[in-house]
Structure 1
Amino acid sequence: MRKLMSDRRTTPISIIGFDSAWTDSPKAPGAISVIRIDDKGRRTFVPPSLVSFDAALTVIQTEASFSALRIVALDQPTIVPNLTSLRPVDRVAASLISWLGGGVQPANRSKIGMFDDAAPVWRFKERLGATEDPEASRSASAGLFLMEVFPALALPSFGPAFCGRLLGPRYNPARRKTFTLAGWQAVIDVMRLRALTESVDGLCEWADALAAVSAPKKADQDQLDAALCALIGLHWQMAPREASIMIGDRTFGYMIVPASTDVRARLKSAADKAGVPIDVEMLDCSKPF
Structure 2
Amino acid sequence: MKFIGIDLGWQSGKSGLCCLQYSNKKLKILDLDCILEIEDILNWIDNLTPLSTPALIAIDAPTIIPNQTGTRLPDKLTHKYFGRYHAGCYPANLNRPFAQRTVKFGISLEAKNFIHAPTIETQQPGRFQIEVFPHPAIVNLFQLERILKYKKGRLADRKSELLKLHQYILNILPTLEPALVISDNFLDMEKINSMATLKTTEDKLDSLICAYIGAYWWYWGREKNLVLGDSNTGYIIVPNRVSRY
TM normalised by structure 2 equals 0.84
- Within the candidate set 179, 198, 201, 2:181 is matched to 201
> Does 2:1 correspond to 1:18?
no
Deviation beyond 4 Å, 4+ runs, structure 1: none
**Paired residues for 1:158-197 under 5 Å:** 158-160=141-143, 162-163=144-145, 167-172=146-151, 174-176=152-154, 179-197=157-175
The residue type paired with residue 48 of structure 1 is: L
**Cα RMSD (Å):** 2.6
Measured in 2, the distance between the counterparts of 1:179 and 1:66 equals 44
- Corresponding residue number in structure 1 for 2:27: 43
- Corresponding residue number in structure 2 for 1:138: 122
Deviations 1:215-263 (A, max 9, x none): 552222111100110111111122464211111111011110001179x
Residue 139 of structure 1 deviates from its aligned partner by 4.8
Question: Quick check: 45-54 or 245-254, which moved more?
Answer: 45-54
- Corresponding residue number in structure 2 for 1:126: 107
**Cα 1:146–1:203 shift into 2, 3 Å:** farther
**Cα 1:137–1:239 shift into 2, 3 Å:** closer
- Corresponding residue number in structure 2 for 1:78: 63
SS of structure 2 residue aligned to 1:170:
coil
- Corresponding residue number in structure 2 for 1:107: 92
SS of structure 1 residue aligned to 2:170:
helix
Higher Rg: 1
Measured in 2, the distance between the counterparts of 1:179 and 1:100 equals 19
Contact 1:53 1:120 in 2 (8 A): no
- Corresponding residue number in structure 1 for 2:206: 225
**Cα 1:159–1:108 shift into 2, 3 Å:** same
- Corresponding residue number in structure 2 for 1:213: 192
- Corresponding residue number in structure 1 for 2:225: 244
The residue type paired with residue 170 of structure 2 is: R
**Paired residues for 1:54-93 under 5 Å:** 54-65=39-50, 68-93=53-78
**Cα 1:196–1:205 shift into 2, 3 Å:** farther
- Corresponding residue number in structure 1 for 2:140: 157
Measured in 1, the distance between the counterparts of 2:51 and 2:19 equals 11
- Within the candidate set 132, 135, 148, 2:131 is matched to 148
Contact 2:136 2:147 in 1 (8 A): no
Measured in 1, the distance between the counterparts of 2:5 and 2:47 equals 14
Residue 60 of structure 1 deviates from its aligned partner by 1.6
Residue 211 of structure 1 deviates from its aligned partner by 6.0
Contact 1:236 1:244 in 2 (8 A): yes
Contact 1:45 1:203 in 2 (8 A): no
SS of structure 2 residue aligned to 1:245:
strand
Contact 2:150 2:158 in 1 (8 A): yes
- Corresponding residue number in structure 2 for 1:276: none
> Does 2:16 correspond to 1:31?
yes
Measured in 1, the distance between the counterparts of 2:52 and 2:25 equals 12
Deviations 1:95-144 (A, max 9, x none): 344312355211001102x11xxx22233223222211242363532x32
Segments of structure 1 that go 5 or more residues without pairing to the other structure are 1-12, 263-289
Residue 199 of structure 1 deviates from its aligned partner by 3.7
**Cα 1:185–1:213 shift into 2, 3 Å:** same
Segments of structure 2 that go 5 or more residues without pairing to the other structure are none
Measured in 1, the distance between the counterparts of 2:180 and 2:237 equals 21
- Corresponding residue number in structure 1 for 2:239: 258
TM normalised by structure 1 equals 0.72
